[in-house]
Amino acid sequence: MGRIGIYPGSFDPLTEGHRDIVLRSLRFFDTVVVAILKNPDKRAMFSVRERAALIAETFADEPRIQVDHFGGLLVDYVRQRKADAVIRGLRAVQDFEYEFQMTMMNRRLAPDVDTVFMMTDEEYFYIASRTVKEVARLGGTIDGLVPDNIKAAMFVKLGREGELA
Ligand code: PNS
């Protein structure tokens, strides 16, 4: 299977920023697993099952990308998958504090599990799932912020399917 990188997150939904991180990571890992956290968040737009199906569709042409979900501690999941590292994206400085805390907590729990950080393309560094959802809910355009299949699924959820070409 070669080197496995686990890219964990909420992915509600996957954005172009996430996609960029996954594609960049393929240069360093043989397999990249997009691992969706199963947490019962009632405010989520998509169920974990829906998110997994959408992400699999986005990356349908790349067999080295897998989609999975996990519950409990990330480090347990990483060990169970016998993965080589956790992958996280870094956007602006504001991400650093949260990522630093999480990485150090994970290291304390599992000193053998390392996290590598990737920077998104400058075109995407301001994109967050939360703001994309807000713009979509309020009737704005989200072209270029999420993959096309995900935009379509969001518009269907929001009753905006009439706007799809
Ligand atoms: O996309 P997100 O919401 O920033 O991803 C956060 C995620 C899923 C990476 C993080 O919440 C996580 O790893 N949760 C699993 C629980 C866990 O292991 N917690 C200990 C680390 S602080």
Distance 10 CA to ligand 1 centre (A): 8
Q: Ligand 1, residues 6, 19, 22, 74: which to mutate, most atoms within 8 A of Cβ? A: 74
Residue 97 phi/psi, 5-degree rounding, is -55, -50
Q: Ligand 1, residues 10, 41, 81, 118: which to mutate, most atoms within 8 A of Cβ? A: 10
83 burial level (CB within 10 Å; 0-12, 13-18, 19+): buried
**Which pLDDT value is given to residue 165?**
75
pTM over 0.85: yes
Long-range contacts of 151-154 (CB under 8 A, 24+ apart): 153/13, 153/46, 153/50, 153/54, 154/13, 154/45
**Which pLDDT value is given to residue 41?**
74
Q: What distance in Å separates the CA atoms of residue 133 and residue 113, rounded to the nearest whole number?
A: 32
Q: Provide block-wise average pLDDT over 10 residues at a time, the chain (165 residues).
A: 95 98 98 94 91 98 98 98 97 90 98 96 93 97 97 98 91
